[in-house]
Amino acid sequence: MMVDLPKKLLAVIGAVAVLNVLVLGLGYALYPGYVDTGEPNIVALAWRILDGHPVYLSIQDETRITNLYGPFLYLIHALVFSVFGGSVVVGKATAIAALFIALVMACLSQRARGSVAIFVMAGGLSAIIVMNLPASVWDRPDAFMLMSVALGLWLNNRANSNHKWRRVFLFGLLIGFLIGMKIFAAIYFLPFGLLMLYRDGIAACCVTVLIAFAVTAIPFMTPVFEFRHMVDLIGVMADKPNSWIGLEKVLRYATVYLIPPAIFLGLGIRMMARHDQIEAGILAVGTLIAIVLVLYPAQKPGAGMHYLLPFAPIVLDLMNRGLNVARERYKLALTLALFIVILINVISIPIEKRFVRGLDWEMANGVAEEIHQISKDFDGHKIEIGIGDTNESYKRTYQRTRLVFEGHPYTLDTAIIIDTTFWGLELTQGTLDMIERCQTDIWLIPADERPFKWIGYYGNDTYGQPFRDSFARAFEKTESRTYFDIYRCKSSQ
């Protein structure tokens, strides 16, 4: 009876942890606002695709809304919008669905190893997902990359010589999809690529790479995604400084991904069959190399530990490979696995509490209602949301997508301007002229604050004094409401 206790506890923890992720995901989908400044930009650009607007604009364009994510991130959101319409819930549901698929496929990848391996994957992956909040539930690429790796792991663990070319084709699609999310994201498939080289040979790897590049290139054959504009932005971003503080933090969290597989492979690899030893060794070395490579982009300002999230299914798979054989010789191996899964879940609790406390439902609902009312009151006018001068009020501006969904203009996005001005790409004279000619009729500014005076989280003056001067010449405050002041174009009143 006592022998079965660790297994039963693993089952309970796995089930509770998965249920927790489901509740968090569904809860965040229903939350009327966003928790991250970059989320509105992605769904706004995706929504505009349906009207034929380009995603990548010139760095000298008068508007400043282009973000440096791959085209598939926008296309997958646009596809869902085309079916269900534009709303905050729909914009978030796509990534959360990807997260749920990742959980399911990662667990299915362990089915051949038995119930214990499934419980470890369920409990461990759920905890790491919570540990990476809000990145694991926001609409940026992370959930989609996690889903791709989970699908890759499922394919990898179903390896069969009779299915070689099917696997090659599907791996190519997944790698192309990953590159179409983030340009460096093919690194996450390096462990699988090394295994493919061992199993299937160099010809299969070459075909996979060709398929991946073909998939990546497809969106750039349309006017929606101008490759040259994306390259220009990459050139600017390449000068983004390194952060030793960021590197130290990412390295600290990397231990969660490195220690569990190291322990159980250390215990079990000598008891594996020769073929299994080689495969586990290749997968482990490939994962270690890939993690080291990802450390570089992860330590950059604006990045972080969530860049390691897609590795979670692979490292838990490695842990299970060792556990599956070690538990036959070491009676305490299963208890040790239980302890590690519990520990990761305990570590994630403060992060979850901080995330849940940060969801200000009253404020988010109030902002949503006020935006809707202002849009009705000024029907026929073009309205956008700008920023004030404090961090707290900046969160009110996240719901700018509500205006975009209603057909209002989208010319300036603070989330983009924070980064580009920090990189040295100042707002152009064309942007100042656009403001002074009142391309937008009304700007909503957080109530009782100085328009566009905010110092961004990099410590830079986000918009700059020349922009504020242009805004002051063209607009004046005409009304105050609970969350926003209304600034109307002087020449149109």
For residues 182-187, average pLDDT: 94
Give the per-residue pLDDT at 108: 97
- For residue 160, the model assigns a pLDDT of 65
Residues in the chain: 493
Overall average pLDDT of the 314-336 stretch? 93
428 torsion bin: left (phi>0), alpha (psi -120 to 50), beta (else): beta
Respond yes or no on whether the N-terminal peptide bond of residue 134 is cis (omega within 30° of 0).
yes
Q: What would the mean pLDDT of 370-397 be, rounded to a whole number? A: 95
Out of 12-16, 163-167, 174-178, 485-489, pick the least confident.
Answer: 163-167
pLDDT value, residue 168: 93
Gyration radius of the chain over CA positions: 24
Q: What is the pLDDT of residue 2?
A: 53
> In Å, how far are 125, 140, 163, 195 from 276, measured between CA atoms?
23, 36, 19, 11
| Tens digit of each residue's pLDDT (9 = 90 or more) over 258-278 | 999 999 999 999 999 999 999
DSSP for 317-360? HHHHHHHHHHHHH-TTHHHHHHHHHHHHHHHHHHHHHHHHHT--
- Predicted pLDDT of residue 161: 58
pLDDT given at position 1:
46
Q: Give the pLDDT score at 154.
A: 96
Q: Determine contact, residues 315/260, Cβ cutoff 8 Å.
A: yes
Edge to edge, the sheet with strand 442-446 lists: 383-385, 442-446, 484-489, 475-480
Domain ranges of the chain: 68-355, 361-492
Contact 192, 171 (CB under 8 A): yes
Phi first, then psi, for residue 205 (nearest 5°) are: -65, -40
Contact by Cβ (8 Å): 400, 45: no
pLDDT at 76: 97
Averaged pLDDT, 416-424: 87
Q: What does the pLDDT average to over 408-435?
A: 92
**Phi, psi of 266, rounded to the nearest 5 degrees:** -60, -40
Mean pLDDT of the chain: 93
Query: Residue 349 — pLDDT band, cuts 50, 70, 90?
Result: very high
pTM: 0.95
